[in-house]
A and B are shown apart, each in its own frame.
Chain A
Amino acid sequence: QVQLVQSGAEVKKPGASVKVSCKASGYTFTSYGISWVRQAPGQGLEWMGWISAYNGNTNYAQKLQGRVTMTTDTSTSTAYMELRSLRSDDTAVYYCARDLRGYDFGYYYYMDVWGKGTTVTVSS
């Protein structure tokens, strides 16, 4: 079955970096994209960006430009999200999700399979 397995919880100090992995299985990795969404404690969902597993193209949320990098390793069907210069308000659960993007009667973009999430805690 289609599955996304994320790496384990992380605790980081302010100013450090974190890299979260997301290993896909059960489908052709390069036929879809991978999106990242985070959720701060008790808060709503925040879109972080996407990466095409086909060609590596990325689109990052303007708020995170310059601090986030999304990559993929097609040999292992794994996606990565690195966030640098961590601050306390980066404390959140980080989700990866398989995404579909394209055009029919309009532009469509959505996430149909989600990982279980990785908790990242930023604390001194």
Chain B
Amino acid sequence: QSVLTQPPSASGTPGQRVTISCSRGSSNIGSNYVYWYQQLPGTAPKLLIYRNNQRPSGVPDRFSGSKSGTSASLAISGLRSEDEADYYCAAWDDSLSGNYVFGTGTKVTVL
């Protein structure tokens, strides 16, 4: 099964900007939209970014998504303590298996 690769961890102090990368091949990110989910400790995931760079209602504009070729990234500007969570990218995979694949996940720590 295809895997989207993310750095296992990222950190920053309050107010800083943190960027998380997500990369894989052309059968998923290269040809499809990328999504980002936030999972606070002990809770269910929450949709953070859809269709590469769109924010659902209620998601602060501190969160932004982008995609270029077979890579995508999530940026958190003005980092806050409540942003400490796991972040997962995801994309549909056009390969024969036709699965939805999640990234390996990135733990963001606010120092």
Contact = CB atoms under 8 A, between A and B. Distances in A.
A106 B88 CA distance: 21
A45 B102 contact: yes
Interface residues of A, number: 23
Interface residues of B, number: 27
Contacts of A111: 37, 45, 47
Interface string A28-63: 000000010100000011110000000000010111
Interface string A108-120: 1111101111000
B32 A44 contact: no
Contacts, number: 62
A89 to B, nearest CB: 15
Interface of chain A: mostly helix, strand, loop or mixed: strand
A46 B102 contact: yes
Contact of B88 (A44, A97, A107, A114): A44
Interface in B26-78: 31-33, 35, 37, 39, 43-47, 50-51, 56
B90 A62 contact: no
Nearest 9 A/B pairs, CB to CB: A47-B100, A114-B44, A45-B102, A62-B97, A44-B105, A110-B35, A112-B47, A110-B50, A108-B33
Interface of A: 35, 37, 44-47, 59, 61-63, 95, 97, 106-112, 114-117
